[in-house]
Amino acid sequence: MKRVPKVPPMEGLRRQIRKSREAKGASAGDSFIRETFRLPRSAARAKAREWFHAWPKAAYWTEVESWRQLPGDEIEFTMRRLPSAD
C-alpha cells in the first residue's frame, strides 16, 4: 500500500512565510524598508507607481518584493526600497 504524503494547510504555510519574511526584515544585515499593502487592483498599481516615482529604482533599488491575488480582485503586495540613495 502506497502512503500519500499529507499536504499542509495553506494558512499554516502562509503564516510560516510571513514570519520568515518578518524575521528577515528585522535582521541587522538587511537595511531595506518594506511596506505591505492590500488594495484593489487599480489602487495597487497606483501605489506601486507612487513608490517608483518617490524612490526611483536606480537609486533606491525599489521593487515589488512579493505579491498575490486575493478574492474580490484585491492584490496583497510588499514594496521594498533602500532608506537612502547614498
> Mind listing the pLDDT tens digit for each residue in 45-72?
999 999 999 999 999 999 999 999 999 9
The C-alpha cell that represents 16 in the structure block: 510560516
pLDDT at 28 over 60: no
pLDDT of residue 17: 80
Domain ranges in the chain are 32-86
The C-alpha cell that represents 4 in the structure block: 500519500
Q: What is the DSSP letter of 36?
A: E
Share of the chain above pLDDT 70, in %: 85
User: What pTM was estimated for this model as a whole?
Assistant: 0.65
Tell me which of 29 and 4 has the higher pLDDT: 4
